[in-house]
């Protein structure tokens, strides 16, 4: 890689939108993936509520958005701490598992 080139930092995370609009947005501070507004690991509780409300009519869109952010966060966090990065299952729970409601698996009758 050319020394003046920065590694790809991925797309800017613009969601959830701030609510109310003058409040600091609950978006991630990269590459550490903590919330810009409250300092909690992102997505924080407020970001989750705002994302659920924003994507209320597009649950598939929310899933795709969260999966993309999981990929970006894994890359950033493992670059920061390659020897002791977060477990993949922990990242999945943090970014994706809380998302759209999933029906439980139903066994055979």
Report if residue 61 sits inside a domain.
yes
CA 60 to chain centre: 15
Q: Record the pTM.
A: 0.75
CA torsion sign, 39 to 80 to 73 to 5? positive
Average pLDDT value for residue range 17-23: 69
pLDDT at residue 89 in the model: 93
Contacts of 79 (CB under 8 A, 6+ apart): 7, 31
Range of the domain at 85: 28-97
- Helix (H, G, I), strand (E, B), or coil: what is residue 41? strand
Say how many C-beta atoms besides its own lie within 10 A of residue 61's C-beta.
12
Report if residue 33 sits inside a domain.
yes
Q: What is the pLDDT of residues 48-64, one digit of tens each?
A: 999 998 898 999 999 99
Q: How many domains does the chain have?
A: 1
């Amino acid at each position: 890689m050319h020394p003046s080139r920065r590694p790809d930092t991925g797309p800017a995370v613009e969601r959830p939108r701030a609510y109310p609009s003058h409040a600091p947005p609950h978006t991630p501070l990269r590459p550490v993936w903590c919330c810009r507004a409250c300092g909690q690991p992102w997505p924080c509780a407020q970001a989750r509520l705002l994302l659920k409300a924003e994507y209320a009519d597009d649950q598939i869109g929310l899933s795709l958005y969260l999966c993309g952010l999981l990929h970006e966060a894994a890359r950033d966090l493992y670059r920061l701490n390659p020897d002791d990065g977060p477990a993949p299952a922990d990242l999945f729970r943090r970014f994706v598992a809380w998302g759209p409601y999933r029906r439980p698996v139903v066994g055979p009758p």
